Structure 1
Amino acid sequence: MVLHAFFPTYGGGHVKSVIPVIKRLNECGHNVEILGLTNSVVELSKAKLNYTNLSNYAYLFSKQEQDIIIELGQLALIGSAGMLVDTESVWYHGIGLYELCKSVGEKDAFTAYRNQGRKAFLPKGFALKVLRSIKPDFVFVTCGQRLELAFAYAANELAIPVFRLIDLVGYPAKVDYKATMLVGNEYTKKILLEALQLRNEIIVTGNPNFEHSSKVTTFSSDICVTYFSQPGLKDRNSVLAAFGLLLNKQAKLKFTYKPHPSENLDDIDEINSLIEINKDQDANELIAKSDLVITHFSSVGFQAINQNKKLLIINFESKIFPIDFVSMGCAKVASSVNELISLLVNFTDEKKVCFDAQISNYPRFQQPSSATEKVVDTIFESFKGI
């Protein structure tokens, strides 16, 4: 049986998690349709995978509806500092606002957008149009946000099977639609079982994006620290400033900064020239070369855990993160710039032993091998006998 799969994809680690799955399905002769959303198209292009844009589905709307969608999208993006206003951004915002206007009226729709941004969008009507048009055998989602969530709801309504790859699970875990849940480890499965009360089948497959066979061999005496920042948090400039101060005092420290693909780099304060800014290298490769990985709540934390790398969490604003590597016992936390500097000095002086207690907890959260094969086998198993 040749399967027709549909993957709506968001950027960052989300699309990287599904690219190996898509490639394997292609190799097996199945038809895969990919919708590239936000910056997922960058990774899809690197992987030489064909994808469709939102504007490719314009045929699902009348000419009048298309004009309204474009106008709403342009209105939504007025004054969007640092955001690339291209055709797909216009369509993304336009479709979201168009459906919101139909649901609550134009005034309330724009109020919701001003208050919540893109989080206000849930264009299930559009998702229904797409799925009725392309008629996939299954829908595969990851982060479950906005348009991805809309496709999951729409697939349920049309009785199309949904597979959901979970890359981050925090409290409370919420998946309020029917799907086969693919998770990274037994810890995640336990959380979901408690939260979902057996509503969905949950299978431990691992996450293809967290797999990495390191071929890095280094004989450097430097201590390599890599910082993975995230959009929407105010701590970044303070972290980079702290790195700059330490570089003047700690000759052995080497800092690499990996910005998130969605981040605006225009508002970075002056940065020490010795800090390497690495936008393009794969996260797993950077982690492999690192002695210490620093982030906030990114799935990068699980990538570090799976490579047995020491992990430090930045939380200067005392936020409740959706995944708490500190309470899991897998990371130390820096709650202030002074604490960050102190931890990094200790990390250097104590020859990295100060994180050993956290490393000892890693096996509980590490994933099985051959994640891509396990994900694909789970999909095939669900269609066996059909």
Structure 2
Amino acid sequence: MKSKKVLFVAYGAAHIRSVLPIAKYLDENKNWNINPVVLALTTGYRESLASGVETIGYKDLGVMTIEELDAGKRLVEKGNFGYSVSEEESIAYLGKNYYDLVKQYGKVDAASMYRQRGRSCFFPINTALIALEELMVDMVISTNAPRSEKAFLDAARRLGIPSIVIWSSLAKHEIEWVGKESFTDYVCVDSKYSYNKMLEAGRPKEEIRITGNPQFEQLLKPRRKNEIEKLRKRKGWGPNDRVLLFAQQNEPDEHPFTGKAGDPQLPRRLNKMLIDSMKRCAESVKLCIRYHPNQEIIVEDEIEGLSFSDQHEDLSDLLYSVDGVFTCSSSVGYQAILLGKPVVQGMFSMFSSDVDFKMIGNSMTINAENELDHMWYCIANDCLPKPLRNESITESPVRSIVELIAVNFQ
């Protein structure tokens, strides 16, 4: 029997990590007779390529037209490509997305939209429709990201191709379309909380599956005590030190959904606030800062009690080794909740109100800088509120979603 082709679409960080474990499992277990292909964007491309799974980018989605090529080169010349993406891929991504915008709205409106919103206005539906037919895809699986991911899921729906979207509890602004009845065949969620949110949005219960999120499968496998001790020793943390992990993230000029003004200097200010507050704490406390994969590293002076975690260090191992997590809205906070680690949410970012960690996991909320000293006291004395463990997650999110895929091909 001819194998089925499943296209996974995702950009970097949590999105690629939500789909890549499924693709890798299918690639390594040929008995399912399913051929996975990953359309990986931005930092997700290198991560997918390193996994050994067949990986493509926008540069592989057919020959570019003259109009697409011109648009891509023009936008790249203006500095619109990241350090982690090749120039060839940047030209293809920007060119195809921008010219798709032109086809949808015309040259004048497309230029105005891009000038005002940048890449957040992209929705490459025409590109996706052509790509799915040329690639002869049998199913599309993606996440709740609103550009390429949403476009490929929408294109699959229009073409009658089965599809699955993996939705995170944190994706507040995407509920409107992820929760729409029959937008995809199924929506896979990670908790009863998410399940209820989908029901409220209008998804029939037959379309909702509590599978857990594949990116957390390795996270939930317990670590041996000596492994945790080894990591703590390597970081310079003593057995009696209480360690807070700060999950950093970017703050753009404007919120991509609400238009609310942001403060690009916030990451730098938050570092200073947390470091200054830690210094005032007389207890044995430490601060470990981990930057987002797409974030520029902020170099800080060498300070006693301050350490950093780079992207080469396994985040799951790190979470097992710390005593709590501070974040404004990073999904790292959600991962900490799954492990039963206390979370402190700072309401300093324009993104903070997008995620209610208190509702999701009983977190402490910090509304002002003068509350940080109390936070450090609670960390030092082990009196931060403990999260409620998520009992809804299946034993293997990857296996659960693979079985859901297979049902569609029977």
TM-score (norm 1): 0.88
Of residues 25, 37, 43, the one that matches 2:47 is 43
Of residues 326, 329, 343, the one that matches 2:375 is 343
SS in 1 for 2:353: coil
Q: Structure 1 residues 39-48 or 20-29, which shifts more?
A: 39-48
Write out aligned runs for 1:119-268 (5 A). 119-169=120-170, 171=172, 173-174=175-176, 175=178, 176=180, 177-198=183-204, 201-211=207-217, 212=219, 213-217=221-225, 218=229, 220-232=239-251, 234=263, 235-250=266-281, 252-265=284-297, 268=298
Asked if structure 2 preserves the Cα contact closer than 8 Å seen for 1:226 and 1:294, the reply is: yes
Distance 2:19 2:379 in 1: 35
- Deviation per CA, 1:89-135, whole angstroms, max 9, x where unpaired? 22222222111122222232122112212110001111111101011
Asked if structure 2 preserves the Cα contact closer than 8 Å seen for 1:325 and 1:331, the reply is: yes
Of residues 372, 376, 382, the one that matches 2:402 is 376
Write out aligned runs for 1:23-102 (5 A). 23-29=24-30, 30-59=34-63, 61-62=64-65, 64-74=66-76, 77-78=78-79, 86-102=87-103
Post-superposition offset of 1:182: 0.7
- Deviation per CA, 1:41-61, whole angstroms, max 9, x where unpaired? 2322342333112112242x4
- Deviation per CA, 1:333-358, whole angstroms, max 9, x where unpaired? 1122222232122321xx212323xx
Post-superposition offset of 1:83: 8.4
- Deviation per CA, 1:191-220, whole angstroms, max 9, x where unpaired? 101102428700111112122223252371
Structure 1 residue 324 and structure 2 residue 351: aligned?
Answer: no
* CA distance 1:79–1:17, change in 2 (3 Å): closer
- Structure 1 unaligned runs (5+)? none
SS in 1 for 2:360: coil
The number of aligned residues is 373
Q: Structure 1 residues 112-121 or 327-336, which shifts more?
A: 327-336
* CA distance 1:132–1:45, change in 2 (3 Å): closer
- Structure 2 unaligned runs (5+)? 230-237, 253-262
Query: Which residue identity is paired with 2:222?
Result: S
TM-score (norm 2): 0.83
Q: CA RMSD in A?
A: 2.5
Distance 1:270 1:295 in 2: 18
